[in-house]
Amino acid sequence: MKKKQIEGYTYVDGGVCAAKGFVANGLNCGINPDKNKNDLGMIYSVTLCDAAAVYTQNKVKGAPVVVTKNNLEKSGAKAQAVIVNSKNANTCNANGIEVAEEVCKLTAAELKIQPEQVIVGSTGVIGQPMSVEPFAAAMADLAAGLSVEGHDAAATAIMTTDTVKKEVAVEFEIDGKTCRLGGMAKGSGMIHPNMATTLNFVTTDVAISGEMLQKALSEIVKVTYNCLSIDGDTSTNDMVSVMANGMAGNDKIVEEGKNYKIVKQALHMVMEYMTMMLAADGEGASKFLECSCDGAPDQETAIIVAKSVIRSPLVKCAMFGEDANCGRILCAIGYAEADVDVSKIELELASENDAITTYKDGFSIDFSEEKAAEILKEKELYIRIHLHQGEASAKAWGCDFTYDYVKINGDYRS
Amino acid sequence: MKKKQIEGYTYVDGGVCAAKGFVANGLNCGINPDKNKNDLGMIYSVTLCDAAAVYTQNKVKGAPVVVTKNNLEKSGAKAQAVIVNSKNANTCNANGIEVAEEVCKLTAAELKIQPEQVIVGSTGVIGQPMSVEPFAAAMADLAAGLSVEGHDAAATAIMTTDTVKKEVAVEFEIDGKTCRLGGMAKGSGMIHPNMATTLNFVTTDVAISGEMLQKALSEIVKVTYNCLSIDGDTSTNDMVSVMANGMAGNDKIVEEGKNYKIVKQALHMVMEYMTMMLAADGEGASKFLECSCDGAPDQETAIIVAKSVIRSPLVKCAMFGEDANCGRILCAIGYAEADVDVSKIELELASENDAITTYKDGFSIDFSEEKAAEILKEKELYIRIHLHQGEASAKAWGCDFTYDYVKINGDYRS
């Protein structure tokens, strides 16, 4: 899974602390009974940030999603800290909103900022009772331990069934000023983002207005996180937030133009790679899957087709079984809710270094089963669809369906 | 899984041969290399039937679906025979239409009827080369062996990953005439019917016009087969056909009214039970799941909500793991594309003999984990949702997600 290389952008370490002025921390506060696992994370900017966020479209929303949305409305899209816990989603609890608001107040008091400048997130089991006590008890320690090295502890604190932490950051220039933008993400199951996604936090030292940040975020979410599907289940707690503290010292970006494009590209790179990391670490995954759809009449069609294939349980099982059962891919294209001329479809199965065409003009063609078997042995598989109906393209990401997905989700609560 | 009991209707044996004048047969013609498995089935009515059918909405359609649709248009909704094979879907083959038309001609020649009076179906692997030869070689034997006992061989011939054959029939009266209506079905994976369904063939001796038959079929498909989801994959070859030969001797039903309602009820009973049989035999299933949605503002909403829950991989895994992780059910209700007031949702987990309420007013409530565990041990589970927003209801059927689903679909072609 290679990071996309683009001239003028360099990948750097540091995750959410890569950009100037951001510190973070994470620890175990007792929500997770396993004391070796962090369950509470904090990100803090030394100055107030412009902020933007997108949220789950699930009608059952986690209390933290509701409270964060309210906060950013109240603060005029300003934020200075993130507080986030794992192991309990604080969703469908009668006192959920109350708890999430109280957590913001505790955070704000400790950091000497306003409660509405706090972005709050939770992930874990839905419908479990939630109390403010573990937050209250840990808040002083959490804040005292904030540091630029703390991105690691924070990224660990949001893991649930994730097997690896997900961080990425890039460095680039705007008008001679060095800028950075980095993020952390969590997510492994219940992933089928719709307009928003799993928990993702992005920080940057670029100076940019909340309005332009929101515009860039909303556009990029559409072609990154929203093109990810692990299991077709859209979580109740999905959220992506971006905080920009302006400490890179560039002239504040307040409209579209060259500089807006530069930062939007950085956001795209970080979010696309985080999406790919989420796909590769899908619950129980043994293979990373990327499905591209080219030659579509418009981007919307390309997205719908690519996502339909990535979502299909039968395609996911075939990839797990290393079976070139491409009829299932055609089947998933056929039931995608898009205007596709099935008589023009071309299909290729590929690994990083090899490819084989299995369908042309909508019909299966003779191909070497031996070569297909070699390709399907690889850990990263690419399903390439060409619709031959236009110029638009899109990609979607996911993983195979394995025994372990069933195992993990058969006993998640316990 | 109890059959619904309704006064005036009695369940009888005989499947598609239960109704007067229908005979059937099945054998192995070599499409399936395992000679012990039937792969070709035939149903024949001694007189010409009024007929109706619904087809898959997948844009990639099996050649037999296209040919059957053309035939019924040409014949003016008349049919006298069904010919159907398993092991090869005859889909995405360059010569698929040609083969399916040739199979109709061979069938018609053998039975001395017209080719457009033949309903042709195929199920199996997509994109495999298909030849007319095995059909040609077996046709004489197949027709010679037609009998009223042949429903069993025919029902066996359409099985793919099915573990049991699916047949059901009912007897009832119209104006003092004894009538029967029975069907056979296949289906185990790639099941998420949309407007149509898996392969299902229904026969009856009721005298009813093709138009009224189509009306009844289209309405009942909506609340039976279309409310079934094994894996969210809508097949390319779905089809339900009904043939009515009129041999019961009732006055022909040509409009809505008392007699139309009687036969529609019979069709509903047969199709609902076939749907439940399909759900219980879902690929790899260890548990049968029924999700009911009551108190919906309209039936459409009830259907969308019930299907969303039945389709959720996370709910299906939780049921497999016997884990009362009801947050996942709320999550699936929340992302259903329906106008639901989540603050009113009530949720019950039930077996045939016991039930436990786990959510009220949209929030999780305290419940006995011990009692929940006892309920979830059962092989047949009932998820009961009450929206408290109106009077409409619907049910959806499915099964749990198991290791075996992944295993079966990891090596289906081989």
Calculate mean pLDDT across residues B354-371.
Answer: 93
Q: Which residue has the higher pLDDT, A61 or A383?
A: A383
pLDDT higher than threshold 90 for residue B287:
yes
Q: Which of B123, B197, B234, B301 is flagged as catalytic?
A: B197
B161 within 8 A of B191, measured Cβ to Cβ: no
Give contacts of B362 with chain A, Cβ < 8 Å.
60, 92
CA–CA separation, B21 and B12 (whole Å):
16
pLDDT digits 0-9 by tens, A162-183: 888 989 999 999 999 999 999 9
pLDDT, position B228:
84
Give contacts of A57 with chain B, Cβ < 8 Å.
335
Give contacts of B193 with chain A, Cβ < 8 Å.
none
pLDDT, position A79:
95
B154 within 8 A of B43, measured Cβ to Cβ: yes
pLDDT, position B232:
63
Give contacts of B58 with chain A, Cβ < 8 Å.
331, 334-335
B407 reaches A (C-beta below 8 A): yes
**Residue of A233, A314, A409 lying closest to B331 (CB–CB):** A233
pLDDT, position B283:
80
What separation in angstroms does the CA of A96 have from each of A103, A119, B329?
11, 15, 18
Q: Kindly give the pairing relationship between strand A78-85 and strand A40-55.
A: antiparallel
Q: Give the tokens for residue A218.
A: 């909303």
Mean pLDDT (chain B) is: 91
Q: Which residue has the higher pLDDT, A414 or A9?
A: A9
Do A405 and B403 make contact, defined as CB atoms within 8 angstroms? no
Region of residue B124 (phi > 0: left; psi between -120 and 50: alpha; otherwise: beta): left
Do B410 and A326 make contact, defined as CB atoms within 8 angstroms? no
pLDDT higher than threshold 50 for residue B194:
no
CA–CA separation, A193 and A248 (whole Å):
32
Output the 3-class SS for B82-131.
EEEECCECCCCCCCHHHHHHHHHHHHHHHHCCCHHHEEEEECCECCCCCC
pLDDT, position B171:
95
Helix (H) / strand (E) element for A295: namely strand A288-296
- Give SS3 for B267: helix
The whole-angstrom distance between B235's CA and the closest CA on chain A is: 7
User: For chain A, first and last CA: distance in Å?
Assistant: 33
pLDDT, position A195:
36
User: For chain B, first and last CA: distance in Å?
Assistant: 33
B55 reaches A (C-beta below 8 A): no
pLDDT, position B190:
60
User: Scanning every residue of chain A, which has its alpha carbon at the shortest distance from the alpha carbon of B88?
Assistant: A327
pLDDT, position A56:
81
B329 reaches A (C-beta below 8 A): no
Give contacts of A92 with chain B, Cβ < 8 Å.
327, 330, 359, 362-364
pLDDT digits 0-9 by tens, B157-182: 998 878 889 899 999 999 999 999 99
pLDDT, position A194:
44
DSSP line for A212-270: HHHHHHHHHHHHTGGGB-SSSPPPSS-EEEEEE--TT-PPPB-SSSHHHHHHHHHHHHH
Give contacts of B320 with chain A, Cβ < 8 Å.
406, 410
A44 reaches B (C-beta below 8 A): no
Calculate mean pLDDT across residues A23-43.
Answer: 96
Calculate mean pLDDT across residues A267-271.
Answer: 92
Most A CBs within 10 Å, among B161, B308, B406, B411, to test the A interface: B406
Q: How confident is the model at residue A224 (pLDDT cuts 50, 70, 90)?
A: confident
pLDDT higher than threshold 50 for residue B1:
yes
The whole-angstrom distance between B61's CA and the closest CA on chain A is: 8
| Tokens 């975020």 found at | A217
pLDDT higher than threshold 70 for residue A26:
yes
pLDDT, position B354:
94
CA–CA separation, B37 and B26 (whole Å):
10
| Tokens 């019979």 found at | B266
Calculate mean pLDDT across residues B341-360.
Answer: 94
Do B410 and A320 make contact, defined as CB atoms within 8 angstroms? yes
DSSP line for B339-355: ---GGG-EEEEE-SS-E
pLDDT digits 0-9 by tens, B302-314: 999 999 999 888 8
**Residue of B231, B317, B342 lying closest to A410 (CB–CB):** B317
B97 reaches A (C-beta below 8 A): no
Range of lowest pLDDT (A48-57, B117-126, B192-201):
B192-201
User: Scanning every residue of chain B, which has its alpha carbon at the shortest distance from the alpha carbon of A128?
Assistant: B364
A195 reaches B (C-beta below 8 A): no
CB < 8 Å from A in window 306-325 of B: 311-314, 317-318, 320-323, 325
B44 reaches A (C-beta below 8 A): no
pLDDT higher than threshold 80 for residue A198:
no
Range of lowest pLDDT (A16-30, A181-195, A296-310):
A181-195
DSSP line for A155-190: HHHT-SS-SS-EEEEEEEEETTEEEEEEEEE--SSS
B337 reaches A (C-beta below 8 A): no
B91 reaches A (C-beta below 8 A): yes
B93 within 8 A of B63, measured Cβ to Cβ: yes
CA–CA separation, A37 and A15 (whole Å):
19
**Residue of B235, B321, B331 lying closest to A60 (CB–CB):** B331
Range of lowest pLDDT (A157-171, B287-301, B348-362):
A157-171
Indicate whether this model's pTM tops 0.90.
Answer: no
Most A CBs within 10 Å, among B55, B56, B60, B315, to test the A interface: B60
| Angle (nearest 5°) at CA A88 between B344 and A400 | 95
Highest-scoring range by mean pLDDT, A85-94, A133-142, A265-274: A133-142
CA–CA separation, B167 and B186 (whole Å):
9
Give contacts of B91 with chain A, Cβ < 8 Å.
327, 330
Do B311 and A342 make contact, defined as CB atoms within 8 angstroms? no
Calculate mean pLDDT across residues A52-75.
Answer: 91
**Residue of B61, B323, B327 lying closest to A414 (CB–CB):** B323
A287 within 8 A of A380, measured Cβ to Cβ: yes
Output the 3-class SS for B361-407.
CCEECCCCHHHHHHHHCCCEEEEEEECCCCCEEEEEEEECCCHHHHH
DSSP line for A324-372: --THHHHHHHHTSSS---GGG-EEEEE-SS-EEEEEETTEE----HHHH
pLDDT digits 0-9 by tens, B214-263: 999 999 988 888 888 776 666 778 788 899 999 999 999 999 999 999 99
pLDDT higher than threshold 70 for residue B89:
yes
- Give SS3 for B335: helix
Give contacts of B236 with chain A, Cβ < 8 Å.
327, 330-331, 334
The whole-angstrom distance between A47's CA and the closest CA on chain B is: 37
User: Scanning every residue of chain B, which has its alpha carbon at the shortest distance from the alpha carbon of A190?
Assistant: B314
pLDDT digits 0-9 by tens, B293-346: 999 999 999 999 999 999 888 899 899 999 998 988 998 898 888 989 999 999
**Residue of A127, A194, A332 lying closest to B233 (CB–CB):** A332
pLDDT, position A4:
84
Q: In chain B, pLDDT over 70 holds for what percent of residues? A: 95
- Give SS3 for A55: strand
The whole-angstrom distance between B5's CA and the closest CA on chain A is: 35
A335 reaches B (C-beta below 8 A): yes
Chain-centroid distance of CA B185 in Å reads 6
The whole-angstrom distance between A286's CA and the closest CA on chain B is: 13
Q: Kindly give the pairing relationship between strand A288-296 and strand A392-399.
A: antiparallel
CB < 8 Å from A in window 342-361 of B: 342, 358-359, 361
pLDDT digits 0-9 by tens, A337-386: 898 999 999 999 999 999 999 999 999 999 999 999 999 999 999 999 99
pLDDT, position A73:
96
Calculate mean pLDDT across residues B197-224.
Answer: 90
Q: Which residues of A are catalytic?
A: 197
Do B327 and A127 make contact, defined as CB atoms within 8 angstroms? yes
Q: Which amino acid is at A23?
A: V
B368 within 8 A of A227, measured Cβ to Cβ: no
Do B58 and A401 make contact, defined as CB atoms within 8 angstroms? no
- Give SS3 for B222: helix
Helix (H) / strand (E) element for B212: namely helix B210-223
Q: Which residue has the higher pLDDT, B242 or A60?
A: B242
CA–CA separation, A233 and A249 (whole Å):
41
- Give the contacts of B297 (CB within 8 A, at least 6 positions apart): B339, B387, B389, B390, B392
Q: How confident is the model at residue B143 (pLDDT cuts 50, 70, 90)?
A: very high
Q: Which of B231, B168, B232 is nearest to B201 (CA)?
A: B168
**Residue of A236, A335, A406 lying closest to B234 (CB–CB):** A335
CA–CA separation, A332 and A353 (whole Å):
25
Q: In chain B, pLDDT over 90 holds for what percent of residues? A: 69
User: Scanning every residue of chain A, which has its alpha carbon at the shortest distance from the alpha carbon of B283?
Assistant: A314
User: Scanning every residue of chain A, which has its alpha carbon at the shortest distance from the alpha carbon of B346?
Assistant: A92
The whole-angstrom distance between A272's CA and the closest CA on chain B is: 24
User: Scanning every residue of chain B, which has its alpha carbon at the shortest distance from the alpha carbon of A325?
Assistant: B413
Mean pLDDT (chain A) is: 91
Give contacts of A344 with chain B, Cβ < 8 Å.
none
Q: Give the tokens for residue B342.
A: 């989540």
Q: How confident is the model at residue A236 (pLDDT cuts 50, 70, 90)?
A: confident
**Residue of B235, B330, B408 lying closest to A331 (CB–CB):** B235
B29 within 8 A of B134, measured Cβ to Cβ: yes
pLDDT, position B176:
94
